[in-house]
Amino acid sequence: MTEAVRVSGSLRNRLATTLIGGAAVLAILLFFVVRSYAAQIAQQGQDSILGASVTSILDAANVRDGRIEVDFPYASFSMLGTESDDRIFYAIYQDDQLLSGYDGLPAVDPKVGGDSSYRTAEFQDTPVRLAAASRMLVGADLRTQLTVSVAQTQDSLSGTLNRISRNVAIFGTGFFLLVVLLAFWATSAAIGPLARLTTSVARRGPQDLRPVVSPVPSEMVPLVTSLNSLMARLDQSLGRSEDFIAEAAHRVRTPLATVRSHAEATLQRVDREENRQAMRAMIRAIDESSRAAGQLLDHAMITFRADHLDRQDLDLVDLVQDLAVRLGPIADMRDVDLHVDAPNAVPITGDAILLQNAIRNIVDNALKYAPRESVVHIDVTTSPSPRVTVCDEGPGFPIGEIGGLSYRFARGSNADGIIGSGLGLTIAQDVATAHGGALTLGNHPKGGACVIFSF
């Protein structure tokens, strides 16, 4: 049983969250930076017009007959016109005495010498921007300082700012959505090689312990290297245990054959019925062990060869007919008629030794589990794919057990009293898988088991 893997978060989510979070912070930052920059520029625009207005009023002032005269040029206020009809206030002071204009206009410390000073303040409960400048007026008997202050409400400015903010917000949201899309694309692209590796390892058959050779990103190289080395060690240890089983089976089989021939000979000499029964049980047990040893040996050989298939061009019909001839004596012993139905030739490529072994096991089952004096049909066909179908006239596979019969050492409830080790179908199935084919077990509607070995 495989241990459930403990999950600690998801790489995809972590990556996507980081990218999207970063984009959100950037979008908000972008919004405030652009807004404040736009506000600064708009303010500078208003300031320079206010400054020009103050200067034009100051320039129009002069001293006549000891009195100060200011002739407002038309342009000094008209240049302040805005689309929101912002209100304009002004105040002219002579040495801090209000000469003309609005009383109580917030004071701005003017720089002497023409340059305007600016500030933002409240006037009549409305935020206004103020510009002020001073100039020294010198007449025949008068020397006085004239200060001009012009203020304007900021409706148009805040309108412009709102418009800019809205546009920047739309732009920022668009940017954010684009980054979200990019983040999903980037995470998929980054996770892709990992997913591909997972699929390629998951798709492998249980025997497939080849190293991963497809190229992977450099960050995944340590993972794939460890995976490959793990599989190499696993392959080695599997190989060693298969070798061990084959060696053990081989060593057991030879002495078993000797024991069996001695037991047979003894059986001939023994007269007492209970002794004869004991001898028969002994021979049967030896047959069981010998069959198991033989099947284990074959299974180990198949596991080894399945990894290094010796593929040749073969004729499936030839192979099956050859097998039918070789199994003829066993069929005759059971009075079973082996009936081969095949076209002239069915060309395939495969490992002849493995294929013979697999099909022999299937036919062997048909001979073993079918009743005496029946017919076993072996059909070779080409479509939909090359296949061998073996059907007998026996009781068929026990219903409900079919799914598990091709597991190692699995025997059906109908196998009682029949010598076998439960490896025949495992061998056939492994050979089919190694050839990219399948083994299908089923029962004929008219009775009898049908096994299809397809390529």
Ligand X SMILES: Nc1ncnc2c1ncn2[C@@H]1O[C@H](COP(=O)(O)OP(=O)(O)OP(=O)(O)O)[C@@H](O)[C@H]1O
> Would you count residue 375 as binding ligand X (CB under 6 A)?
no
SS (H, E, C) 92-158: EEECCEEEEECCCCCCCCCCECCCCEEEEEEECCEEEEEEEEEEEEECCCCEEEEEEEEEEECHHHH
From the list 82, 116, 153, 295, which residue makes contact with ligand X (rule: CB under 6 A)?
295
Nearer to Mg ion, 147 or 361 (CB): 361
Quick one: tokens of 305? 């060869």
The label of the residue with tokens 């917000």 reads 169
SS3 315: strand
> Would you count residue 453 as binding ligand X (CB under 6 A)?
no
> Would you count residue 442 as binding ligand X (CB under 6 A)?
no
Quick one: tokens of 330? 């066993």
Site size toward ligand X, by CB under 6 A: 24
> Would you count residue 357 as binding ligand X (CB under 6 A)?
no
Residue ranges of alpha helices (H) inside 270-315 are 273-307
The label of the residue with tokens 């978060």 reads 9
Q: How far apart are CA 58 and CA 73, in angstroms?
A: 10
Q: How far apart are CA 415 and CA 372, in angstroms?
A: 16
SS3 395: coil
CB distance 19 to 187 below 8 Å:
yes
From the list 86, 351, 392, 393, which residue makes contact with ligand X (rule: CB under 6 A)?
392
Nearer to Mg ion, 89 or 397 (CB): 397
Nearer to ligand X, 351 or 392 (CB): 392
Choices 27-35, 175-183, 241-249, 388-396; region in contact with ligand X by CB under 6 A? 388-396
Give me the residue whose beta carbon is nearest to ligand X: 412
* Binding partner selected for residue 389 from Mg ion, ligand X, none, CB under the kind-specific 5 to 8 Å limit: none
Nearer to ligand X, 374 or 454 (CB): 374
Q: How far apart are CA 92 and CA 70, in angstroms?
A: 9
From the list 365, 389, 406, 426, which residue makes contact with Mg ion (rule: CB under 5 A)?
365
> Would you count residue 424 as binding Mg ion (CB under 5 A)?
yes
Give me the residue whose beta carbon is nearest to Mg ion: 424
Shortest distance (Å) from residue 293 CB to ligand X: 11
Give ∠ CA 279-285-286 in degrees, rounded to 5. 90
How many Å from the N-terminal Cα to the C-terminal Cα in the chain?
Answer: 31
From the list 197, 279, 366, 434, which residue makes contact with ligand X (rule: CB under 6 A)?
366
Nearer to Mg ion, 396 or 424 (CB): 424
> Would you count residue 291 as binding ligand X (CB under 6 A)?
yes
From the list 146, 296, 425, 434, which residue makes contact with ligand X (rule: CB under 6 A)?
425
Shortest distance (Å) from residue 289 CB to ligand X: 12
Rounded to a whole number of angstroms, the CA Rg of the chain reads 50
Residues lying near ligand X in the complex (CB under 6 A) are found at 291, 295, 361, 365-366, 369, 392, 394, 396-397, 405, 410-412, 414-415, 420-426, 449
